[in-house]
């Protein structure tokens, strides 16, 4: 694994956590460091960090609040 990739991984605690949970990515990144972009996308997908996931959470919260308001009245 090249130094640039090691610095990228160590700079973000989520990368380290994800690597520990999904150790097969070590093998993939060692053999092909160009797969880092796919690694980061998979991490965002699994941890629900994409913009789409954030919007879904907002709508879920709004729906919950509106249902609570309906039941209060």
- Block means of pLDDT (10 residues each) for the chain, 73 residues, are 92 96 95 95 95 93 93 84
Which structural domain, as residue segments, surrounds residue 30?
Answer: 3-72
User: Three-class SS of residue 28?
Assistant: helix
Give the pLDDT of residue 52: 93
Number of independent structural domains in the chain = 1
What are the Cα distances from residue 54, in Å, to 17, 57, 59, 64, 67? 21, 5, 9, 15, 20
Look at residue 73 in the predicted model and tell me its pLDDT.
75
Q: Is 0.85 surpassed by the pTM of this model?
A: no
Can you give the pLDDT at residue 42?
96
């Amino acid at each position: 694994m090249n130094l640039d990739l090691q610095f990228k991984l160590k700079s973000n605690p989520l990368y380290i956590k994800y690597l520990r949970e999904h150790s097969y990515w070590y093998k993939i990144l060692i053999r092909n460091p160009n797969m880092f972009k796919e690694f980061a996308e998979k991490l965002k997908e699994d941890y629900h960090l994409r913009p789409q996931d954030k919007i879904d959470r907002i709508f879920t919260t709004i729906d919950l609040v509106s249902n609570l308001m309906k039941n209060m009245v």
